[in-house]
């Protein structure tokens, strides 16, 4: 596969959308995420500024002051470092405002400058499956599984981890199930059972 104009365009578009390199690679096909990243760099669109959805870490290397480093300094061949241009003329978009597919009725993201435990308990919990419309087996399965949940944080979730929220988001007592999700589904087997119910299963409960 080669970087045709079309493929490059797709790459640019998806990268601008904030898609990860691996997602782009998957979409394009025939390339790895490394290839995508390499291309991104060659195209000079590294810094994904703007509504940056992904986090980046930029660690600085401390310059070894003087003398030799005590433990195993590689020969360090001559590394001609071209002078950096003052500032790359990056188009600065104030806020791309990427469309979010998820309405996310979650807790209000209050501007909390404080890092203290803002444990505002007593908030209304997100809708939890009520026992009276779920099969006893599924319920039991869920309770069982939640004892073994991996208790993942938001950042630890992946495409193949169960994203079922457990606990109160307003407190520290909150995590995601994190067990292996069943193929293509957002939840593990147990939570799929309570998340997706055939209409027939929720027979008219009397009001």
Partner DNA sequence: CCCTGATTCGC
Partner DNA sequence: GCGAATCAGG
Shortest reach from residue 1's CB to DNA, in Å:
6
| Contact range with DNA by CB under 7 A, out of 39-47, 63-71, 116-124, 181-189 | 39-47
Residue 156 interacts with DNA (CB under 7 A): yes or no: yes
Minimum CB separation from DNA for residue 22, in Å? Answer: 3
- Smallest distance, Å, CB 71 to DNA? 14
Contact at 8 Å (CB) between 54 and 20?
Answer: yes
Calpha distance 134→142 (Å, rounded): 11
Give the interface segment with DNA, choosing from 29-37, 63-71, 95-103, 122-130 (CB under 7 A).
29-37
- Burial profile 67-105: b = 16 or more Cβ within 10 angstroms, e = fewer: eeeeeeeeeeeeeeeeeeeeeeeeeeeeeeeeeeeeeee
Burial 135-157, CB ≥16 within 10 A → b, else e: eeebbebbeebbeebeebeeeeb
Write phi, then psi, for 147 (nearest 5 degrees): -75, -25
Identify whether the C-beta of residue 158 lies closer than 8 Å to the C-beta of residue 134: no
* Binding residues with DNA: total (CB under 7 A): 31
Residue among 21 and 188 whose Cβ is closer to DNA: 21
| Residue 28 CB neighbour total at 10 angstroms | 20
As measured in angstroms, the least distance from the Cβ of 40 to DNA is 6
Binder of DNA out of 6, 57, 137, 204 (CB under 7 A): 57
Q: What's the min distance (Å) between Cβ of 100 and DNA?
A: 18
Positions in the binding site for DNA (CB under 7 A)? 1-3, 19-23, 31-35, 37-42, 46-47, 54-57, 59, 155-156, 158-160
């Amino acid at each position: 596969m080669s970087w045709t104009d079309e493929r490059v365009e797709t790459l640019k578009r998806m990268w601008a959308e904030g898609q990860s390199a691996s997602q782009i690679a998957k979409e394009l096909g025939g390339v790895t995420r490394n290839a995508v990243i390499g291309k991104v760099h060659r195209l000079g669109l590294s810094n994904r500024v703007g509504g940056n959805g992904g986090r980046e870490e930029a660690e600085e290397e401390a310059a070894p002051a003087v003398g030799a480093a005590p433990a195993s300094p590689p020969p360090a061949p001559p590394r001609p470092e071209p002078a950096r241009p003052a500032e790359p003329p990056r188009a600065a978009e104030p806020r791309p405002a990427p469309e979010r597919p998820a309405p996310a009725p979650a807790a209000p993201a209050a501007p909390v400058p404080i890092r203290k435990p803002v444990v505002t308990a007593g908030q209304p919990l997100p809708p939890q499956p009520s026992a009276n419309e779920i099969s006893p087996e599924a319920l039991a399965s869920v309770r069982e599984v939640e004892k073994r949940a991996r208790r993942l944080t938001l950042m630890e979730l992946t495409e193949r981890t169960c994203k079922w929220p457990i606990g109160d988001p307003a407190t520290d007592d909150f995590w995601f199930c994190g067990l292996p999700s069943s193929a293509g589904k957002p939840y593990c087997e147990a939570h799929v059972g309570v998340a997706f119910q055939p209409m027939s299963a929720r027979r008219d409960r009397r009001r």
